[in-house]
Structures are given as C-alpha cells and as structure tokens.
Amino acid sequence: MSFAEVRVPTVFKKSQYLRLDVGEHTLRILDENATATDTHYVISRGGRATIKCLGEDCPICAINNQLKLEHPSTFRNAQGYSPISRRHSFNVLDRTEAKICPKCQSVTKPRGGKFPSTCPECGSFISDVETAPVNKVFLVTISDAVAKDINRISKLYLDKDREPIPLTSYDVTISVEQGTKGREMTVIAQPQRNDEVTVEEELFDPTTAITALSKEEIVEFMRGISIRDIYMARNKKDDVGATSKKEENKVAEVSKEAEDMINKLFGE
C-alpha cells in the first residue's frame, strides 16, 4: 500500500494561527520537523502573553531565580513566577469537516462527533448547514506533552521496510476537551486517511509563532505596557531609523556631487 506525499511551496506569508478550541481537529501536518521554542506565559497589567525566553539574558528567568531564593519551598505559587514551557510550532492543513455559519462566517467543528444546533459565536441556527472540509493552511503551536504524543504515534505505523511512515503522509486528529485543570488534548492517528495532498497556499514561518521581545520590551510588558503598544513603539522606531538612514544617504550623495564639482573646478 503506497502512502501519499505532501507537496508544499516554500514561500512564507503573514501567519494565521489555528485555535485548538474544544472539539475535534483533523489535520495534515505539512512540516517534516516542528520548531521548538522555550517560552514563558506571563500575566501582567499589560495583558497575558506567551513570550519567547531569552535564555541567560531573560528578565523573567531572573525573577524566577529570585523567587526560588526567597521562597525555596513555595516559589511555584509565588506571584510573578513563570516557569519555562517548551512549545512546538508547525504548519498544518486543516481538513476538519466543519460548518460555516451563514451569518458570522465562523467555523464550528464537531464535539464528540456531533455539531451544536446553534453557532457558538453568534447564536444563529446551523442545524441545516452542510458540512465541508476547512481546507486551509494554519500555523499551530502545541505543548511539549502533545508533541511527545505525536512523536510516539509517528513510530507506531511502519512501511513494508519496517520504517516509520512520515507523519506528513496521513491525517491526525487532535481532540480537545475541557478538563478540571484546563484543556486536555488527545492525539489520534488516522492512517487510513492517506490520500495525496497538494497545497497551493504559501506556508507560514514557524519561527515567528511565538511573541519575541527584547529584554527591555519584556520589562515594559511586565510593568504594564501592552504588547500592542510595544509593537507600535517598535514600528515607530523602525520608521524613524529608516528615515534617518535615508537622510544620511541623501547627504552622502550631495557631498559626493559637491566633491566632484570641486575636482572639476581644479582640473583633478
């Protein structure tokens, strides 16, 4: 039995992220390898955000270390403590059979194999709406635990040479349920869904999936500045820098023209 290959382009575009809400998500993984990133989930007056850890220069890690010194037995419960959590990002083709609300266009996926009678977003009735595969490319980010489950599954299905069949060759379903301690995810392999997939859309850059701030920007966020305001200040600084560089180049051009004129005057 031959398994299909995934054919994908290599150009990146602005990212669109898949929300792993409660329900079933049937996906075809498009990347051979996921991009792993150490992160912190930070809650501040500026909001809530998953931020890339800066390693030795990370101010969040510095606070964690200080809390460990001050509260050696209870630091995990101390306000401001944010442990490192590894996240894995990759491109997927969402192949879930879903319903699209005719009023708000939101996508509703099945829960326990069944669809709700009304749209979760706007409350419109969707009982008579036909299902159709989403068939869109998204960037998805999962926890280290879910990534380990996917890696475990990848070793279960072998080809005729007893080699693991690539995960990009068949669909996987991530079932999301609301547990007592948050959302719980179960990964289910769908090796029978091994049809060939050709992706015409451009892929997303997995290295941009996690919010990356400088040391100074992280401190600002922890002091209450929102991510949006930090990005706006960053863009403004970039615009000023680009304008300054443009002015420097213009001055250099004028100086070169003046030098050429002087050389001509003196016959040089």
CA atoms of 85 and 9, how far apart (whole Å):
30
pLDDT at site 239: 67
Kindly state whether residues 246 and 191 are assigned to the same domain: no
Q: What is the pLDDT of residues 3-24, one digit of tens each?
A: 344 454 444 456 899 999 999 9
Amino acid at 142: I
In a domain, 116, yes or no: no
Q: Among 79-83, 108-112, 143-147, 166-170, whose mean pLDDT is lowest? A: 108-112
Q: What is the pLDDT of residues 215-251, one digit of tens each?
A: 999 999 999 999 999 999 998 887 665 555 555 555 4
**Looking at the 3D structure of the chain, how many domains does it have?**
2
Task: Among 208, 225, 242, identify where a domain stops.
Answer: 225
pLDDT above 50: residue 100? yes
Kindly state whether residues 204 and 148 are assigned to the same domain: yes
Kindly state whether residues 71 and 160 are assigned to the same domain: yes
Kindly state whether residues 78 and 36 are assigned to the same domain: yes
Range of the domain at 243: 226-268
Kindly state whether residues 164 and 247 are assigned to the same domain: no
pLDDT at site 113: 85
Residue 111 burial by CB count (10 A; 0-12/13-18/19+): exposed, middle or buried? middle
- Within 5-84, strands assigned E span 6-7, 12-13, 23-29, 35-44, 47-52
Strands 97-100 and 107-108: antiparallel
Given a contact cutoff of 8 angstroms between Cβ atoms, the answer to whether 100 and 107 are in contact is yes
Kindly state whether residues 45 and 148 are assigned to the same domain: yes
- Using 50, 70 and 90 to split pLDDT, how confident is the model at 2? very low
Kindly state whether residues 29 and 13 are assigned to the same domain: yes
